[in-house]
């Protein structure tokens, strides 16, 4: 398992997803709800990619391919979990703006 490569994939996908969600929130704040929805949809797809890579790591370990502890992988997992949490929060804020 190339832990460094996997870590950077997770960080890249999760970071890109988070950026799209921030942009979606900004668009919602301006009342551009269609653009906000498009950005959130794109962010969710990118977040799914990050999750799929993370699932690959878990699957490999479950199959016996252990990896050593990696600060980079821990950072990648933190980035992914923050993006997942942000998705829930940003969706709620966007709904609040829509119903304003």
Q: Can you give the residue ranges of every domain in the chain?
A: 3-98
Contact 24, 40 (CB under 8 A): yes
Predicted confidence (pLDDT) per residue in 12-64, tens digit: 999 999 999 999 999 999 999 999 999 999 999 999 999 999 999 999 889 99
Correct CATH for 3-98 of 1.20.58.80, 3.50.50.60, 1.20.140.10, 2.70.240.10 = 1.20.58.80
Question: Residue 91 contacts by C-beta under 8 Å, 6 or more apart in sequence?
Answer: 40
78 annotated ligand-binding residue: yes
Active site residues: 75
pLDDT band at 1 (very low <50, low <70, confident <90, very high): low
In the structure, what pLDDT confidence band is assigned to residue 79 with cuts at 50, 70 and 90? very high
pTM for this prediction? 0.91
């Amino acid at each position: 398992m190339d832990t460094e490569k996997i870590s950077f994939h997770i960080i890249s996908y999760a970071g890109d997803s988070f950026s799209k969600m921030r942009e979606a929130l900004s668009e919602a704040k301006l009342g551009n709800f269609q653009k906000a929805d498009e950005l959130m949809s794109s962010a969710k797809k990118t977040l799914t990619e990050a999750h799929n890579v993370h699932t690959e790591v878990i699957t490999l370990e479950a199959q016996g391919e252990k990896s050593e502890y990696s600060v980079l992988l821990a950072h990648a997992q933190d980035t992914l979990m923050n993006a997942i949490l942000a998705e829930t929060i940003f969706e709620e804020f966007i709904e609040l703006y829509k119903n304003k």
